[in-house]
Amino acid sequence: MGSSIDIRLETLTGPRGVSAGWPSNGKAFFIETFGCQMNVHDSEKVAGVLLARGYQQVDQPDAADVVFYNTCSIREKAAQKVFSRLGKFRPGHAPEKIIGVLGCVAQQEGEEIFERAPWVSLVCGSASYRKLPDLLAQIESGSRRVMGLDLDVEETFETEVTRRDNPFRAYLTIIEGCDKACTYCVVPFTRGPERSRASASILEEVRQLVDFGYSEIQLLGQTVNSYRDPSARRMAFAELLAGVAQVRGIRRVRFTTSHPRDFHPEIVQAIEAIPAICNHVHLPVQSGSTRVLAAMKRTYTREQYLEKIALIRRAKRPISITSDIIVGFPGETESEFEETLSLLDLAQYDGGFSFKFSPRPNTPAQHMADSVSEEEKGRRLAVLQEKQRAVQLARNEALAGQTFEVLVDGRSSRAEQWAGRTSCNRVLNFTSPGASLLGQYVQVKVSRAGPNSLVGERTS
């Protein structure tokens, strides 16, 4: 990427919303995002594309000429949300508005969206975002229906302008798409094959982010550690982590999501050696049963996964571990579910997300007999979450008395109450008098713990 510009939301608010300082075209856009962090960051880039064309950003669809929904189809509930949003614009309600559907539902449903919601003008999947400026140009010159649904196999989505929403942490996609083939997952279908960005371009953007005031970077990818530098430099993922952490001005580097198969000792060694690489790994297991893992095509057994956990727990620096788990995968028996529960005891996760299996279009698991009833999936999820809550509470309570550096990113409505994140990705709430601490690094001693956050006192 040549020279690019980053715009933070709070810096450029004009009468109708956020503008990039480009000559205004007098029109405004609204974008709502569903789903994962990668979608959130894609929306930041889409907003950049629109700002560079003279649109201004507004925070209400009613005030917008262009309304975009950046959608998620990972589970059925998420996919349904966009159709309920689109329902608000039935013909005649807002004929002058341009409505666009982006992201995974766009890729999955394609032209069908025009059938279900004829008032939609643009449908574009994330693997075609490079074409967005062209698609917008076609709409601006009067086309009523445009589509971008190719799964580009070479290109990544790079923009001249990115409008970053989070003033304290900058997200940066280093690998798009996914080449794994988990049988329950729509991502390989909706986001296309893996494409990594060249390391020099990533490092250049990190330097620009520092110039813009960021000290914390989060590297993103569906399988971030499957990164393969396409340039002659052939930087390995762990080297890239080190390279980003060593950019002058960078204090924290995060990365998500790691796939267990590509999680190698070099990543742990990099975290041990370089304090700026945050001591947190998100390493989804999905199930504790080797049979279910094979049916999911996760490419590792329970034992191989637990070896990765042991590798991380042996590190010289404590590293927190979080996970994703699916309950009620087709054919999951009670005893296989109990294997997942027993894995929670062994893995001792510091946090995570858990879901009921949701059959998705175009995935092999859609055609497997969905043997677990909705009610039983709900029961398993509740049991699992209760157990994980107890694990987290115990792990958090063990931190009482320790002091952590936090980057302050929130302020409570109560006076002098602040929230920050530790390097190990825990939320730490604390009291401190005085001026705004937002964006600052401060030391906080933990006094109390709950399952999802810590409470402490500022020490410096």
Helix axes 302-313, 334-347, angle to 10 degrees: 10
Surface-to-core class of residue 366, CB atoms within 10 Å of its CB (0-12 exposed, 13-18 middle, 19+ buried)? middle
C-alpha–C-alpha distance, residues 449 and 307, integer Å: 29
> Which of ligand SF4, ligand SAM, none has residue 189 at its interface (CB below 5 to 8 Å by kind)?
none
185 lies in the binding site for ligand SAM (CB under 6 A): yes
Residue 46 sits at the vertex; the CA angle it makes with 45 and 52, to the nearest 5 degrees, is 90
Give the integer Cα–Cα distance in Å for 460 and 453: 20
Cα–Cα distance for residue pair 217/209, rounded to 1 Å: 8
For residues 121 and 131, the answer to whether their CB atoms sit within 8 Å is: no
Closest residue to ligand SAM in the complex (CB): 324
Tokens of 279: 């001591």
**Amino acid at the residue 64:** A
Helix (H, G, I), strand (E, B) or coil at 397: helix
126 contact choice in ligand SF4, ligand SAM, none (CB below 5 to 8 Å, kind-dependent): none
- For ligand SAM, the closer of residues 146 and 185 by Cβ is 185
Q: How many CA atoms lie within 13 A of 425 on its CB side?
A: 21
E strand or H helix at 344: helix 334-347
Q: Which residue has the tokens 């480009």?
A: 22
Residues numbered 352-411 forming contacts with ligand SAM, rule: CB under 6 A: 355, 357-358, 360
Choose the stretch contacting ligand SF4; rule: CB under 6 A; options: 22-30, 145-153, 174-182, 338-346.
Answer: 174-182
Residue 182 in contact with ligand SF4, rule: CB under 6 A: yes
Phi, then psi, of 434 in degrees rounded to 5: 105, -165
Q: For ligand SF4, which residue of 85, 259, 308, 421 counts as binding (CB under 6 A)?
A: 259
Distance CA 18, CA 56 (A): 5
Residue appearing with tokens 């069908």: 112
* Residue range at the interface with ligand SF4 (CB under 6 A); choices 184-192, 269-277, 374-382, 404-412: 184-192
Element (H or E) spanning 38, and its range?
helix 37-52
Choosing from 100, 148, 188, 351, the residue that interacts with ligand SF4 (CB under 6 A) is: 188
- Taking contact as CB under 6 A, which single stretch among the options 141-149, 181-189, 381-389, 393-401 is the one that binds ligand SF4? 181-189
Residues 28, 54 contacting (CB under 8 angstroms)? no
The listed partner (ligand SAM, ligand SF4, none) that binds 36, CB under 5 to 8 Å by sort, is: ligand SAM
Task: End-to-end CA distance of the chain: give it in Å, rounded.
Answer: 40
Residues 323-352 contacting ligand SAM, CB under 6 A: 324, 326
Site size for ligand SF4, by CB under 6 A?
9
Picked from ligand SF4, ligand SAM, none, the partner binding residue 188 (CB below 5 to 8 A depending on kind) is ligand SF4
Answer for the pair 449, 396: CB distance below 8 angstroms, yes or no.
yes
| From ligand SF4, ligand SAM, none, interface partner of 293 (C-beta below 5 to 8 A by class) | none
The C-alpha R_g of the chain, in whole angstroms, comes to 23
Tell me the HSE value of 422 on the side-chain side, using a 13 A CA sphere: 27
Choices 139-147, 176-184, 244-252, 395-403 (CB under 6 A): range interacting with ligand SF4:
176-184
Is residue 187 near ligand SF4 by the rule CB under 6 A? Answer: yes
CA distance 151 to 186: 13
Residue 257: asked if its preceding bond is cis (omega within 30°), the reply is yes
**Cβ proximity to ligand SF4, 35 vs 188, nearer residue:** 188
Site track 67-86 with ligand SAM (rule: CB under 6 A), x = hit: -------xx-----------
49 binds ligand SAM (CB under 6 A): no
Q: Does 218 bind ligand SAM (CB under 6 A)?
A: no
User: For the window 207-226, what string marks contact with ligand SF4 as x by the rule CB under 6 A?
Assistant: ---------------xx---
Q: Binding to ligand SAM by residue 103, rule CB under 6 A?
A: no
Integer angstrom CA distances of residue 359 from 236, 298, 326, 408: 35, 17, 12, 39
Query: Is 52 a binder of ligand SAM (CB under 6 A)?
Result: no
Q: How far is the CB of 191 from ligand SF4 (least distance, A)?
A: 8
In the chain, the amino acid numbered 402 is Q
Binding mask 254-283 for ligand SAM (x = CB under 6 A): ---x-x------------------------
**Measured from the CB of residue 215, what is the shortest distance to ligand SAM in angstroms?**
26
178 binds ligand SF4 (CB under 6 A): yes
Q: Determine the interface stretch with ligand SF4 among 100-108, 182-190, 392-400, 429-437 (rule: CB under 6 A).
A: 182-190
Binding footprint of ligand SAM on the chain (CB under 6 A):
36, 74-75, 184-185, 187, 222-223, 257, 259, 284, 286, 324, 326, 355, 357-358, 360
Binding footprint of ligand SF4 on the chain (CB under 6 A):
178, 180, 182, 185, 187-188, 222-223, 259
